[in-house]
Chain A
């Protein structure tokens, strides 16, 4: 029997209801947390339990249902229709088996023959896109005189292949006595078809932590198979993958077994567990494997297991059903295209440099969304830089988070991923080469990011991944942001779709008393020059002076200069002079082109100050001023330096003291 709780049930209520039910009906209560609801499963004798009484015991209970199937924990009803996921950590990140994830490819030989052979096979199948290596150490053979597997020494060879390639390992455990040794190497333990109903083995693997691949017995009904899985779950291990591998029937003339592909949709309706198909055993003939692999993918399998041998003719076991590595390469290309067409994608090898094109993003992304991302050169560039710089674990996190954000399935996920970015990817400075800077210039003139850190870049990618119909969540991010998030948000503005719509937000951001947030908008950001109206622009420039922020880092400072700003700046200079406070020499930069009457007098005053820095600033301003140029007649030395290009506002800004190169990460 299962108890479905309302979606907003407080955690404390969940605990209370579980305790009540367990006490009152003398059953064990198992909690499973789905995306939408919490479900309490009652395990034990529930014949006397009265659904109506349970229903009335708390207003938080949505529904009480009897699970009528003989299998309980594995049934789909037990999770109220929601699929489960088996997540397996591998040396190259966690791989997820399940309906909501891309198809995982498992490949390798029937049995491990030598270290060189298994490592070579592993390298080939990894390059083609497999995430797991299969290979038997202990082999169940029909005849006691056939090759029985290399046993313990084969485990060491598998371990060597794991270390050499980073692939996860799936291998069979035949005997409870070998369990510990096999589990030390395997990432997933396989229970072979012949052992499907070895109940003492099932109980043992159920009592340990490694995920289990449960192959279907050659003559097992679906109910037999699910009851076998129930044994494993009942013993405490929820991570079971079911693998269809063909049935023994009356006709063995042309294929070794009959691959029961209808089991895939049938299982889908009966159980929440992930489903794998093994077309190699299913047909026993390598020439039939590719087409049945394709069919299995289309039938909805979550994973495929394909036997690959470097030289099938010399294989010690199952040679006739093994693909060659070349044959596997070709099959993988077809499967990739097919997975994309099925809107599913293949779980890609975690090779950072190809992430951008990886089919993982195809998962649940519509073609237009995908196109938007892939054609965005800024997205591509940032992704590439991060892929080069991040650790495997961090890159894997980012990739998964992006896939989830792009799919638009969970707003909560975006919010938490955005917050967690600095913790997950770290805060190192983004390493940018001069070539990157050039590329940026051609991609998005005025956009600069040499001062970014990796967490800022990761946050920008997450923002760019937000689907077009969810743009309102950007506002939520602004509303709840911490300092680092605000900085990333404002610096990303020029890159966002519908950039212009955030203008009021940015103008408001300029009012921030957090200097660094102000700087994120005002400095090295083309956004204000592109979108602020004159009054907001002028306030921003003035505030930059108040905050001691270097003006030469303001994008579009010359382009957006205007007479009103010149007047405001001149007034400000007079105020500072009156208070006997220093005036930033950069103040005169936007003033020059609009200098008239009184302002020309200001420039003359500055030109005659003893400080050479002030004099240089005045000279630069005069050079850009039709009305004040004549003042330079008395200063031929300065005029010459301006005219020769030795003295420019940029070089000047960088060299005079207040900018603090270190503070602003100026190269």
Chain B
């Protein structure tokens, strides 16, 4: 059903919640790089130490795991909006952030923003924006699922109040109701193709038709919920089938995410096209795949025999 001759980037996916099989299939369908924003784990954490281990896994184990399948793994680091409400541990987590924010492959501070739009969320959102400024980091903003329109507006207001350049901010989980304002105010506008709760990809086709492809890109936001790690390649295919010009599809599914996060200086096409020799030895087994050999996934899907 899907052609896999187009490279895509999934700039928002929580791989910690996904299986190794997903990596195999994603690579098969053209995902060459992905970004894993720090988020919550489906239930509240009870100590700052578990955040530390989570952050360590984002810069350690997950990066290694992805590299085995020829996918370059990057991440963003933050105290997420939901858990900003946990006063017991929030400050300790904030103290951890500088230890991780400057590590290799950490592209931004995020996801930050609002969930319930509480005072505590506001406080830690601003503190993290200050940190982003101090460390010269991009910002990934999670817009709330409830009261989205107001939350999106307020998120952008706060970014500007804190003196952040909108070109350095990605506003994620956009929809038909918020896209216009995000683009008008000069922010990057990301859409999460996620069944039922966020964007559907037929709607996405219409968005690109209507708003073009400047500063717009898509992600799967796939996590432990009912989500789809192939959302980006599937949407790319759907757009092509609906007659969106190929160069626009490439921009929305690859080029724009690269341009937005590339501002960090940490996210370059060269990372997967021509990785440093030491990366090839230690981190990234992607070159053989990129040279056009057949990925191992077919053997896994086509055979009943497990050896």
Partners in one complex: yes
Residues of A near any B CB (own CB < 8 A): 10-12, 15, 412, 415-416, 419-420, 422-423, 426-429, 451, 453, 455-456, 479-487, 513-517, 581, 662-665
Nearest Cβ on chain A to B90's Cβ, whole angstroms:
11
By a CB distance below 8 angstroms, the chain B residues around A481 are 56, 59-60
By a CB distance below 8 angstroms, the chain B residues around A429 are 277-278
**B127 x A11 contact (CB < 8 A):** yes
**In the complex with contacts A451-B281, A514-B64, A484-B276 CB distance below 8 A:** no
By a CB distance below 8 angstroms, the chain B residues around A484 are 104, 282-283
**B130 x A483 contact (CB < 8 A):** no
**A12 x B102 contact (CB < 8 A):** no
> Which residues of chain B (42-84) have a CB below 8 Å from chain A?
52, 55-56, 59-61, 63-64
**B123 x A664 contact (CB < 8 A):** no
By a CB distance below 8 angstroms, the chain A residues around B282 are 483-484, 487, 516
**A483 x B64 contact (CB < 8 A):** yes
**B276 x A482 contact (CB < 8 A):** no
Distance between Cα atoms of A516 and B280 in the complex (Å):
11
By a CB distance below 8 angstroms, the chain B residues around A451 are 281
Bitwise interface map of B from 91 to 116 toward A, beta carbon under 8 Å scored 1, else 0: 00010001110111100000000000
Task: Assess whether B126 is interfacial by the CB under 8 Å rule.
Answer: yes
Nearest Cβ on chain B to A476's Cβ, whole angstroms:
8
5 pairs, CB–CB < 8 Å, chain A vs chain B: A420-B102, A451-B281, A662-B280, A663-B280, A665-B277
Distance between Cα atoms of A482 and B98 in the complex (Å):
14
A476: nearest chain-B partner, CB-CB:
B99
Nearest Cβ on chain B to A460's Cβ, whole angstroms:
14
**A11 x B134 contact (CB < 8 A):** yes
Distance between Cα atoms of A517 and B56 in the complex (Å):
14
**In the complex with contacts A483-B64, A514-B61, A665-B276 CB distance below 8 A:** no
Nearest Cβ on chain B to A82's Cβ, whole angstroms:
18
Nearest Cβ on chain A to B94's Cβ, whole angstroms:
8
**B102 x A482 contact (CB < 8 A):** no
> Which residues of chain B (13-33) have a CB below 8 Å from chain A?
none
Knowing that A416-B98, A480-B99 touch, tell me 17 more A-B residue pairs with CB under 8 angstroms. Answer: A11-B127, A11-B130, A12-B130, A419-B104, A422-B104, A429-B278, A453-B278, A480-B55, A481-B60, A482-B59, A482-B103, A483-B59, A514-B64, A516-B282, A581-B307, A662-B280, A663-B281
By a CB distance below 8 angstroms, the chain B residues around A487 are 282
Task: Assess whether B131 is interfacial by the CB under 8 Å rule.
Answer: yes
Pick the contact of B102: A416, A453, A514, A664 (CB < 8 A).
A416
Task: Assess whether B180 is interfacial by the CB under 8 Å rule.
Answer: no
Pick the contact of A12: B60, B98, B127 (CB < 8 A).
B127
Interface centre among A426, A514, A664 (most CB of B within 10 A): A514
Task: Assess whether B269 is interfacial by the CB under 8 Å rule.
Answer: no
By a CB distance below 8 angstroms, the chain A residues around B162 are 15
Going nearest first, the 4 A-B pairs with the smallest beta carbon separation are A11-B130, A482-B59, A453-B278, A427-B276
**B103 x A12 contact (CB < 8 A):** no
**B283 x A419 contact (CB < 8 A):** no
**In the complex with contacts A10-B127, A420-B102, A484-B104, A427-B278 CB distance below 8 A:** yes
Distance between Cα atoms of A484 and B281 in the complex (Å):
11
Distance between Cα atoms of A275 and B265 in the complex (Å):
37
**B127 x A483 contact (CB < 8 A):** no
Distance between Cα atoms of A293 and B94 in the complex (Å):
49
Task: Assess whether B279 is interfacial by the CB under 8 Å rule.
Answer: yes
By a CB distance below 8 angstroms, the chain A residues around B134 are 11
**A483 x B63 contact (CB < 8 A):** yes
B105: nearest chain-A partner, CB-CB:
A482
By a CB distance below 8 angstroms, the chain A residues around B94 are 10
By a CB distance below 8 angstroms, the chain B residues around A483 are 59-60, 63-64, 282-283
Distance between Cα atoms of A487 and B279 in the complex (Å):
12
**In the complex with contacts A12-B123, A482-B103, A453-B64 CB distance below 8 A:** no
B53: nearest chain-A partner, CB-CB:
A479
Interface centre among A10, A429, A581 (most CB of B within 10 A): A10
By a CB distance below 8 angstroms, the chain A residues around B126 are 11-12, 15
Distance between Cα atoms of A429 and B282 in the complex (Å):
12
A423: nearest chain-B partner, CB-CB:
B104
> Which residues of chain B (250-288) have a CB below 8 Å from chain A?
265-266, 276-283
A581: nearest chain-B partner, CB-CB:
B307
By a CB distance below 8 angstroms, the chain B residues around A12 are 123, 126-127, 130
**In the complex with contacts A482-B103, A482-B105, A514-B281 CB distance below 8 A:** no
**B281 x A664 contact (CB < 8 A):** yes
Nearest Cβ on chain B to A11's Cβ, whole angstroms:
3
Nearest Cβ on chain B to A577's Cβ, whole angstroms:
14
**A516 x B276 contact (CB < 8 A):** no
**B281 x A665 contact (CB < 8 A):** yes
By a CB distance below 8 angstroms, the chain B residues around A516 are 64, 281-283
B56: nearest chain-A partner, CB-CB:
A480
Distance between Cα atoms of A459 and B266 in the complex (Å):
19
Distance between Cα atoms of A484 and B103 in the complex (Å):
10
**B104 x A15 contact (CB < 8 A):** no
By a CB distance below 8 angstroms, the chain A residues around B105 are 482
Distance between Cα atoms of A425 and B185 in the complex (Å):
37
**A513 x B277 contact (CB < 8 A):** no
By a CB distance below 8 angstroms, the chain B residues around A517 are 64
Nearest Cβ on chain A to B130's Cβ, whole angstroms:
3
By a CB distance below 8 angstroms, the chain B residues around A479 are 52, 56
Nearest Cβ on chain A to B15's Cβ, whole angstroms:
15
By a CB distance below 8 angstroms, the chain A residues around B266 are 423
By a CB distance below 8 angstroms, the chain A residues around B277 are 427-429, 453, 665
B279: nearest chain-A partner, CB-CB:
A427
Distance between Cα atoms of A10 and B279 in the complex (Å):
37
Distance between Cα atoms of A98 and B103 in the complex (Å):
30
**B131 x A486 contact (CB < 8 A):** no
Nearest Cβ on chain A to B129's Cβ, whole angstroms:
8
Nearest Cβ on chain A to B185's Cβ, whole angstroms:
21
By a CB distance below 8 angstroms, the chain A residues around B276 are 426-428, 453
By a CB distance below 8 angstroms, the chain B residues around A11 are 126-127, 130-131, 134
Distance between Cα atoms of A110 and B24 in the complex (Å):
71
Distance between Cα atoms of A516 and B282 in the complex (Å):
5
Nearest Cβ on chain B to A573's Cβ, whole angstroms:
18
**In the complex with contacts A423-B104, A483-B282, A484-B283, A15-B130 CB distance below 8 A:** yes
A428: nearest chain-B partner, CB-CB:
B276
Distance between Cα atoms of A12 and B125 in the complex (Å):
10
Nearest Cβ on chain A to B20's Cβ, whole angstroms:
11
Distance between Cα atoms of A453 and B265 in the complex (Å):
20
B275: nearest chain-A partner, CB-CB:
A427
Nearest Cβ on chain A to B92's Cβ, whole angstroms:
12
A484: nearest chain-B partner, CB-CB:
B104
By a CB distance below 8 angstroms, the chain A residues around B102 are 416, 419-420
Distance between Cα atoms of A12 and B59 in the complex (Å):
27
Nearest Cβ on chain B to A243's Cβ, whole angstroms:
33
Distance between Cα atoms of A12 and B127 in the complex (Å):
5
By a CB distance below 8 angstroms, the chain A residues around B265 are 423
